[in-house]
Structure 1
Amino acid sequence: MKSNTLKHGFYPLLLTLAIGLGNAQAAPEMVVVGYGGAGQKAQDVAFFQPFSQADQSKLIQSEYNGEMARIKVMVDTGNVDWDVVQIEGPDLMRGCDEGMYERLDWKTLGRAEQLIPEAALECGSAALVWSVAIAYDTQKLAQAPTSWADFWDVQKIPGKRGLRKRAVYNLEFALLADGVKVEDVYKVLSTPQGVDRAFAKLTELKPHIQWWEAGAQPAQWLTAGDVVMTSTYSGRVAAAAQSGSHLGQVWPGSLYGMDYWAIIKGSKHVDQAKRFIAFANQPDAQVKYVEQIPYGPTNTQAAARLDSKLAQWVPTSPQNLAGALSMNVAFWVDHGEELEERFNAWASK
């Protein structure tokens, strides 16, 4: 992909959007918030800088760890100092129902027909397809794990394990470790007995868990030898491995889903934010993003252009989807708050 093609090819779309949205002059200092680390650096190269150049507007970056309470306070008080946020599916759907995000007009934004299913939503546009999987250092672990059962087996593979400090992901992984089949995970988790079973399995491993809260931590901990294996976002491990780290990944039993771009209700830069989302959905921009960090593209035309060596790290590649679990967003929308509260109480004991 050529940067000048990206720039000049985007101008007609910019003008169309500007007219359709009623403001051809981009507002300065739009704030885009992501999860930091390698993922946001890739977004800077593929999206933020090229968009600012093409749109001739200013964009400021910030980062967070998915704190919905902070966004809710902004909306409730009217003091909105963020504009576009990267957000997980369940949080997007809950926030959309609560009026925390701007509605998107896909006829104006365009490209909805190019996107994968569930990418073009009422309040969000899918930014990437992620996967959470087991990672380990191939030079430090003589016997590689092959499943979540191995992850839980501290007799077979002694040492600390890294897990994200949230209920989401961990309850699914606990049930997989306890022998539940991939296709039955959410069926089991939808019952009180299934939830108790998942927490009981987590309790078994609790003395050996080191909790991570930032996406950059798992790869850092593996490299430093702080943990023998960890759950992690697949793109982080792929980026580390491509930079020379000896990290391996276990795809069977991985959990995949989508993060979204959403515009906070009350944003002072709504038109600019919508132009940014339209820009980020272009196939050229998405190919450039995946070349920086191998998360899955949401534009089908971008997916078709990926080199085979790169595709091996992408969670939506057929070989990596085998034995993987698709996140049930509706389940987490319905039960997320109560399960996160229970998890926080359990983790603090």
Structure 2
Amino acid sequence: MTNKFKLIALSSAASIMALSAAAQEEVSLTVVSWGGAYTASQQRAYHEPYMAMNPNVTIINDDGSANALAGLRAQSQAGNVTWDLVDMLPSDAQLACDEGIIMEIDHDEMLAPAPDGTPASEDFLPGSLGDCFIPQILYSTILAARPGAFEGEQPDSIEDLFDLENFPGKRALQDRPGTNLEWALYADGVALEDIYDVLSTPEGVDRAFAKLDTIKDEIIFWTEGAQAPQLLADGEVAFATGYNGRMFDAIEVEGMDAAIIWDGQIVEWDGWVVPAQGDNVDAVMDYLYFATDTQRLADQAKYISYGPARASSAPLVGEHADLGIEMAPHMPSAPDNYFAPIVLDNDFWADYGDELRERFANWMLQ
């Protein structure tokens, strides 16, 4: 071999070694989510398998999703984006997308197809994808009640949440307008299909707050998802709103004595967004290709009762990994549960959210 070819061979070998070294560079990804049973399900279904396949990657969980939009805005304005991947609600994701602080997503280019080759854009359930949003789950906010709080007849409707005479006791509600305003109108007699039309008027907003006024003295507000079932378990409240997966975990795994009321469940997507100024975008996109494929979304349902966002994942949902119980009946979309859903209108909350959040915050302090 001539010196010239030796140099080329050495150069090529060096390049390959450099690329290999780069591929194995230690990467730390800060993934922001909701904490508790939900983050635990992501850890087991997504994070741990991915890190086992990619030992150079370390995933650090941050339970900051309750304030994700404000956090992204602050980091972007400061020019110091420390989050790599954020679990966010669609309405907040749309606002962040419009503001340019999260990346736009080419779903068919960036995400895995279904096993039969169906493109991601056709496999994810209708209405779930956003310009900057990758859905993971279909979940719902539900009402749960503690049977021991009442004698005789047990509550079974959203209307009962507002019935202090027949069902006295404290109520734990989330400290945001979403769900609370919809349920106030529903309990006040507004038809499910008319709720957002009514809520888009000043009179409808006043009506919703007036209904909430009737139980305000009995409300304990919660912020983090783990607080709602804990308040029920501790006997501090008779009712609590909460995420259906959290309540499932508290009831089925932890043995909490409570019952889910599926009437008026607020059905919503939840999913990922990628900060536009993050330092590890390539690593994040590799993770997302894995974590949002058909099998991984089905795997999450082994640990929590949230429905996978892909059509191809649904047939793969089986038993709970630890309890051995069939998970399909515990999904929000199960026929016995989906009899009176309120499908959350993300366009409405994108348009009116800031105004209603400000009014709700002031109302809580009054």
Normalising by structure 1, we get a TM-score of 0.90
Where structure 1 has 5 or more consecutive residues not aligned to the other structure, the ranges are 1-18
Q: CA deviation at 1:300?
A: 1.3
Quote the Cα distance in structure 2 between the aligned partners of 1:128 and 1:316.
11
Quote the Cα distance in structure 2 between the aligned partners of 1:291 and 1:336.
33
Runs (4+) off by over 4 Å? 23-27
Quote the Cα distance in structure 2 between the aligned partners of 1:291 and 1:283.
14
Q: CA deviation at 1:49?
A: 1.0
Aligned equivalent of 1:334: 351
Aligned equivalent of 1:89: 90
Where structure 2 has 5 or more consecutive residues not aligned to the other structure, the ranges are 1-18, 114-119, 320-325
Residue 145 (str. 1) matches residue 155 (str. 2): yes
Quote the Cα distance in structure 2 between the aligned partners of 1:337 and 1:166.
11
Q: CA deviation at 1:147?
A: 1.3
Q: CA deviation at 1:140?
A: 4.1
Q: Is the 8 A contact 1:92 1:260 kept in 2?
A: no
| Structure of higher RCO (CA pairs closer than 8 Å, 6+ residues apart) | 1
Aligned equivalent of 1:316: 333
> What is the count of residue pairs matched by the alignment?
328
Which of residues 221, 225, 245 is equivalent to 1:215? 225
Aligned equivalent of 2:293: 282
Compute the RMSD of aligned alpha carbons. Answer: 1.7
Structure 1 window deviating more from structure 2 (328-337 vs 280-289): it is 280-289
Which secondary structure does the structure 2 equivalent of 1:126 belong to?
Answer: strand
AA aligned opposite 1:284: Q
Q: Is the 8 A contact 2:149 2:169 kept in 1?
A: no
Aligned equivalent of 1:169: 179
Deviation sequence 1:24-45 (CA, Å, 0-9, x none): 5576111100010111011101
Q: CA deviation at 1:108?
A: 2.2
Q: Is the 8 A contact 1:26 1:272 kept in 2?
A: no
Quote the Cα distance in structure 2 between the aligned partners of 1:319 and 1:301.
22
Q: 1:63-82 maps to which residues of 2 (within 5 A)?
A: 63-64=63-64, 65-82=66-83
Aligned equivalent of 1:117: 126
Identity level (%): 33
AA aligned opposite 1:129: L
Quote the Cα distance in structure 2 between the aligned partners of 1:34 and 1:144.
34
Aligned equivalent of 2:251: 241
- CA 1:191 to 1:27, structure 2 compared with 1: closer, same or farther past 3 Å? farther
Aligned equivalent of 1:5: none
Aligned equivalent of 2:53: 54
Residue 128 (str. 1) matches residue 137 (str. 2): yes
Q: CA deviation at 1:234?
A: 0.4
Which secondary structure does the structure 2 equivalent of 1:76 belong to?
Answer: helix
Quote the Cα distance in structure 2 between the aligned partners of 1:140 and 1:327.
30
Q: CA deviation at 1:240?
A: 1.4
Deviation sequence 1:215-272 (CA, Å, 0-9, x none): 0111111111100011110001111121122221111211010112001110001111
Deviation sequence 1:78-135 (CA, Å, 0-9, x none): 1001110110111000110000101112232233132112333221101211101110
Q: Is the radius of gyration larger for structure 1 or structure 2?
A: 2
- CA 1:279 to 1:26, structure 2 compared with 1: closer, same or farther past 3 Å? farther
Which secondary structure does the structure 2 equivalent of 1:100 belong to?
Answer: coil
AA aligned opposite 1:344: A
